[in-house]
Amino acid sequence: MGDETQKSRERSRRLPKKLLHGGDYNPDQWLDRPDILEKDLAYMKEAKVNVVTLGVFSWSVYEPEEGTYNFQWLDDIMDRLYDNGIYVILATPSGARPAWMDEKYPEILRVNEYGVPNTHGVRHNHCMSSPAYREKVRVMDEMLAQRYGKHPALILWHISNELGGQCFCPLCAARFREFLKKRYGTIDQLNHQWWTTFWSHRFNSFDQIDPPSKRGETSIHGLNLDWKRFTTWNMTDFMTWEIQALRKWAPDIPVTTNFMRLYKGLDYHAMAPELDIISWDSYPAWGNPKETLTDTCFRTAFEHGVMRSMKPDRPFLLMESVPSIVNWHEANRLKRPGVHELTSLQAVACGSDSVLYFQWRKGRGSYEQYHGAVIDHLGTNTTRVFKDVAHLGQTLEELSYIQGSIGKNPAAIIFDWENRWAIEDMAGLSNRKNYDETIQSFHKVLLEHGIDGDMIPGDGDFENYKVLIAPMLYLLKPNTAKKLKAFVKNGGILLATYLTGYVNENTLCWLGGFPGDGLRELFGLYSEEIDSLYPEESNGLEFCGPLKGDENKTYEIRDFCELIHVEGACVMGKYTRDFYQNMPALTKNTYGKGQAWYLAARADEPAMAVILGKISQEAGLLWETLPKGLEIHRRYTEDGRCFTFNMNTTNAPLHYRGLSLDPLETKIIESKPE
C-alpha cells in the first residue's frame, strides 16, 4: 500500500465508532429564531441524531460583504452541538456564491456551450478554472480549517456540494488544449487518434481545437471523450485545491464530497483516489407505481454497490437521503410506513456507516420549502416522519457494532465511466444501448441468487474476485486486456458479452477482429457482425453441452445479436432463429487455470441466471434462488465476524431457511464467515 493510501486509510478510521445518524442542518437560515435553534437541539437528541452537516451553502452568511467575516454563530452552534454529543461534518461553501462575488468577479460565472456566461443565481455553477474563484475558495477554506480544524466536534470535511456540470469559458478551453497537449504530445498523434481526416477535420495546431459543442464540433468521438475526461480532471483539480487548503491546517481530518448517484458528467472512479471517504446522495422514487418496491431496492443496492466498490477496504457514507419526500420527483409520493427503516437499513447493509438526511428542518421559503425534512413546518416531534426517524435512530444506535465492517464480495462487474461515455456517444447499433441497465441487470440476477457484486472500472483490481463480469466492454483502456488475461490465467472466471473490445481508449476501432487488443485469444473467438433488433423483434437462445437443460428450453434474446466464429472456444448456446440460427450465442474458453465465457447476445434475465449460476458454481460460490423479494447483503469485521442482512422488500411475510421476516423487515444474523 502506498504512503498516501495508507494515510488516507488512517484518516478514514478516525470517524466515530458508531453508525452516523443526522444530516444537513442549516441553522444560518434561522439565526433570528433562537427558540427554534434551542428546540432543534432537544429534538435532535430525541431522534438520536449524532452528527449534522453544517455550512453547505453558508458563504453569504460567513462573508456578507467582501472581507467582512462572521463566524460567531458557527462557533456557538459547533460548541452547543458538541456539548450535546452531536458531531459535525463541515462543508466548504463553494457550492454557491454570494451576489457580491459574481458582481465583482464575473469571470467566476460559468459559460455555457453557446458561449453565454450565466448571470448570478442558483448553485453548482462556478468555473472550475477561474483563478479568482480558486483564490476566494482557498482563503475561505483555510479560514474554516484554521478556526475549526481542531474543534472536537469536527469529524469530516465535506468538499463543496454535488460537484458537477461543465464550463466552456475561454480559460477552460485553454486548459483543455493544455490537457490535450500533455495527453498526445503532438498534433499529429492527436489527429491520428481522433481520426480527423474524416470530413476534413485535421488540425494544424492545438490552438484550433475548441471544446465540443452544439455550435461547433460534435462528430469526433475522441474529442467528445477527451472533453469529458478533461472536465473530470479539472473538477478533480478544483476539488484537490480545496482539500490542500484544508489539509494545511487540519491534516488528520478525513475528506469527502457527496457524489450524485451514477452522475454521467464526471468519472467518479477518477475522483475517488483523492478522497478519504466516499459518500453519496440517494433519492430513489420509493413506492413509484412503475416498478415494485423490490425492483427499486435492487436498483438502489446497485447504486450503493457502485459507491462501496470505489474503496472496498472501508465503509462509505450515505450523505443525503430524505426521511419523507423530495420536491422534484414526477410525483412526490410519501414513504409508506416501514419503508424508511427498510431503505435506511439497506444502505447500512450495502456498506454505509451512516444514514443522513437532507435536511433536518424545512425552510420557510425558496425552492426547497416543500422538500421533506425531519422537522416539518408544523415544528413538532409528533409527526409520523419524526417518529420514523427517531425509531431508526434508536435502531442505528443499537447497531453501532456494525461500524467499520466491510463487504467482501466474490464477484465483480466492470462498470466503467469512460466505456459508458464511449457507448453513449457511438453512432451505430440502435438507440437501445442501455449500458447502465445491462450492468444493473447482471447485478440484480446475482443478488436474486444470494451473491452481491462489486462494480469496478475497466482498469480495477480484478484479482480480488473469483468471478468477473464484463458487460459491453466496448472501450479497452490501455491495460484492460492484459489484466483480463492475467485474471483468467490465474484461475478467474470471466464472462464478457457482445460489444467487447471494439475500440481503444480514444475510440479508434481495433483492427483484425473484435474483441481487440489480444482478447480474441482469450475468448477463443472473433466477432464478424452485430445485428440490432427492433423493439418488437427477438431471437432465441438454446443452451447446449453441459448447460442443456432437460426441457429444451428457449430463452429470449433482444436488442443485440453478435455473429461470432469460434477459434477454440466451446459452444454452450446457440441462436434459434434467423439466418444465423445455430451460430454460437454463448461460448466458453479454457485459458490458463481459468475460463473466459462470451455471451454474444442480450439474453433475458432467466438466461443470465443459468449462465451466472454455472459460472458461480465453477468458481465454488454458493448459488441459490432466493425467495422473491428477499435481498441479502453481508458485512465482515476484521476479526472475522460476518453480519448477514436479510431484507424483506415486499409487503407480505417471507420465509427463508427457518427465518421469518415480516413485511419490510430486516433481520441481521451474525456468524463466522463460511
Site track 310-329 with ligand GLA (rule: CB under 6 A), x = hit = ----------x-----x---
- Alpha helices for 3-70 (secondary structure H): 3-12, 34-46, 59-62
- Alpha helices for 149-291 (secondary structure H): 170-184, 187-194, 221-249, 268-271
Residue in 320, 341, 448, 505 annotated catalytic: 320
CA distances to 71, 77, 549 from 31, rounded to whole Å, are: 12, 10, 70
Site track 550-589 with ligand GLA (rule: CB under 6 A), x = hit = ----------------------------------------
Q: Which of 439, 374, 354, 400 is closest to 668 using CA atoms?
A: 400
**DSSP assignment of 508-549, as one string?**
PBPSSSBSTTTHHHHHTEEEEEEEE--TT--EEEEE-GGG--
CB of residue 97 to Zn ion, shortest distance in Å: 14
Contact call for residue 129 and Zn ion (CB under 5 A): yes
Binding-site size, ligand GLA (CB under 6 A): 9
For 151, list phi and psi in degrees, rounded to 5: -65, 130
The residue to which cell 486548459 is assigned: 175
For 630, list phi and psi in degrees, rounded to 5: -90, 130
Site track 30-49 with ligand GLA (rule: CB under 6 A), x = hit = --------------------
Residue 167 or 496 with smaller CB distance to Zn ion: 167
Residue 167 or 499 with smaller CB distance to Zn ion: 167
CA distances to 54, 129, 332, 363 from 370, rounded to whole Å, are: 20, 35, 10, 8
Q: Are strands 584-591 and 570-575 parallel, antiparallel or unpaired?
A: antiparallel
**What are the residues whose beta carbons fall under 8 Å from the beta carbon of 364, sequence distance 6 or more?**
29, 377
The distance between the two most distant Cα atoms of the chain, rounded to a whole number of Å, is 79
Select the residue interacting with ligand GLA from 28, 40, 63, 162 (CB under 6 A): 162
Residue 515 to residue 500: CA distance in whole angstroms: 5
CB of residue 206 to Zn ion, shortest distance in Å: 18
Quote the strand ranges of 321-369, DSSP E: 354-357
DSSP lists the bridge partners of residue 570 as 588
CB of residue 281 to ligand GLA, shortest distance in Å: 4
Site track 278-297 with ligand GLA (rule: CB under 6 A), x = hit = ---x-x--------------
Residue 210 to residue 310: CA distance in whole angstroms: 32
Choose the one of ligand GLA, Zn ion, none that binds residue 371, judging by a C-beta under 5 to 8 angstroms depending on kind. Answer: ligand GLA
Mark the segment that binds Zn ion (CB under 5 A) among 41-49, 137-145, 162-170, 621-629. 162-170
Cell triple for 563:
455473429
Contact 252, 157 (CB under 8 A): no
Contact 325, 333 (CB under 8 A): yes
Residue 24 or 63 with smaller CB distance to ligand GLA: 24
Cell triple for 169:
469559458
Q: Which of 526, 500, 496 is closest to 513 using CA atoms?
A: 526
Residue in 63, 162, 448, 562 annotated catalytic: 162
CB of residue 126 to Zn ion, shortest distance in Å: 8
Residue 345 to residue 357: CA distance in whole angstroms: 14
Choose the one of ligand GLA, Zn ion, none that binds residue 631, judging by a C-beta under 5 to 8 angstroms depending on kind. Answer: none
Site track 350-379 with ligand GLA (rule: CB under 6 A), x = hit = --------x---------x--x--------
CB atoms within 10 A of CB 212: 21
Residue 169 or 322 with smaller CB distance to Zn ion: 169
Cis geometry, peptide bond prior to residue 359 (ω within 30 degrees of 0): yes
Q: Per 3-state DSSP, what percentage of the chain is helix, strand, and coil (rounded to 5)?
A: 35, 20, 45
Contact call for residue 421 and ligand GLA (CB under 6 A): no
Choose the one of ligand GLA, Zn ion, none that binds residue 229, judging by a C-beta under 5 to 8 angstroms depending on kind. Answer: none
Residue 56 or 456 with smaller CB distance to ligand GLA: 56
Active site annotation includes 46: no
Q: 3-class DSSP state for residue 299?
A: helix
Contact call for residue 423 and ligand GLA (CB under 6 A): no
Residue 74 or 169 with smaller CB distance to Zn ion: 169
Residue 117 or 164 with smaller CB distance to ligand GLA: 164
CB of residue 111 to Zn ion, shortest distance in Å: 6
Active site annotation includes 66: no
Contact 319, 256 (CB under 8 A): yes
Contact 437, 608 (CB under 8 A): no
Q: Are strands 467-470 and 525-532 parallel, antiparallel or unpaired?
A: unpaired
Cell triple for 291:
416498478
Choose the one of Zn ion, ligand GLA, none that binds residue 169, judging by a C-beta under 5 to 8 angstroms depending on kind. Answer: Zn ion
Residues 61-80 that bind ligand GLA (CB under 6 A): none
CB of residue 343 to ligand GLA, shortest distance in Å: 15
Residue 211 or 460 with smaller CB distance to Zn ion: 211
Choose the one of ligand GLA, Zn ion, none that binds residue 161, judging by a C-beta under 5 to 8 angstroms depending on kind. Answer: ligand GLA
CB of residue 273 to ligand GLA, shortest distance in Å: 22
Residues 165-184 that bind Zn ion (CB under 5 A): 167, 169, 172
CB of residue 124 to ligand GLA, shortest distance in Å: 9
Select the residue interacting with Zn ion from 127, 144, 468, 607 (CB under 5 A): 127
Site track 500-539 with ligand GLA (rule: CB under 6 A), x = hit = ----------------------------------------
CB of residue 16 to ligand GLA, shortest distance in Å: 23
Q: Known catalytic residues?
A: 162, 320
Which residues in this chain contact Zn ion in the complex, by CB under 5 A? 127, 129, 167, 169, 172
Which residues in this chain contact ligand GLA in the complex, by CB under 6 A? 161-162, 281, 283, 320, 326, 358, 368, 371
